[in-house]
Amino acid sequence: MREALQIKSQVVAEIVEKLQKSSSTIVVDYKGLTVEEVTELRKKMREAGVDYKVYKNTLVRRAAQEVGITEFNDELLVGTNAIAFGYEDPIAPARVIKEFMESHPKMKLKMGVVEGEFYNEAQIVEFANIPPREVLLAKLLGSLKAPMSNFVYLLDALVKEKEGQEA
Write out pLDDT tens, residues 61-79. 999 999 988 888 878 888 8
**Residue-level pLDDT at 50:** 93
How far is 76 from 91, CA to CA, in rounded Å?
Answer: 21
pTM given for the model: 0.76
How far is 149 from 31, CA to CA, in rounded Å?
Answer: 53
Residues of the chain with pLDDT under 70: 1, 136, 167
**Residue-level pLDDT at 1:** 66
**Residue-level pLDDT at 159:** 81
**Residue-level pLDDT at 37:** 93
How far is 85 from 53, CA to CA, in rounded Å?
Answer: 8
Alpha helices in the chain (DSSP H): 2-21, 35-47, 57-67, 92-103, 121-128, 133-166
**Residue-level pLDDT at 167:** 63
What backbone phi and psi angles, to 5 degrees, belong to 126? -60, -40
